[in-house]
């Protein structure tokens, strides 16, 4: 039995359709957040990119797992594909968290700098 990975056109189709569905869902949710004022456009774009990437990875792993159905040791191969997909989604989440923590630290440092300037101004006025 041929593996679905030998026919790369089929896999590309499923990955692209997974990305499209993820983009549509994440885009819709984040447009609504921007309209309600719950998120800035920059934050919404970052969220859409993250969720689209995660959706693409998840879809690819599920399609790969379903292609192993009926093969020898198919259950083990399917579980491997799903665990690799889960690790990919988790990795994207951790990368995003790392980038956001760096930017939040910069904002915090800027706030501290502003507070010290305000204290100096208040002390000079007294």
What total of structural domains would you count in the chain? 1
d(CA 122, CA 108): 21
Q: Is the pLDDT of residue 12 over 80?
A: no
Q: Domain of residue 35: give its range.
A: 4-125
Residues near 39 by Cβ (< 8 Å), separated by ≥ 6?
30, 33, 47
Q: Who wins on pLDDT, 42 or 114?
A: 42
Residue 113 has pLDDT above 80, yes or no: no
SS3 93: helix
Instruction: Assess whether pLDDT exceeds 60 at residue 118.
Output: no
Residues 77-102 have pLDDT tens digits of 999 999 999 999 999 999 998 887 75
For 44, residues 6+ apart whose C-beta sits below 8 A from its C-beta are: 30, 31, 33, 34
Tokens of 83: 């665990």
| pTM score, whole prediction | 0.69
Task: Give the span between the Cα atoms of 57 and 48, in whole angstroms.
Answer: 14
């Amino acid at each position: 039995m041929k593996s679905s990975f030998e026919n790369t056109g089929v896999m590309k189709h499923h990955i692209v359709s997974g990305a499209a569905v993820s983009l549509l869902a994440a885009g819709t949710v984040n447009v609504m957040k921007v309209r309600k004022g719950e998120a800035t456009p920059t934050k919404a774009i970052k969220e859409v990119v993250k969720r689209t990437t995660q959706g693409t990875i998840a879809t690819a792993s599920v399609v790969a797992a379903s292609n192993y159905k009926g093969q020898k040791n198919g259950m083990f191969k399917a579980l491997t594909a799903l665990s690799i997909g889960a690790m990919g989604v988790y990795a994207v989440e951790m990368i995003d968290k790392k980038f956001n923590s760096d930017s939040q630290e910069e904002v915090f440092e800027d706030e501290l700098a502003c507070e010290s300037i305000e204290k100096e101004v208040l002390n000079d006025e007294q």
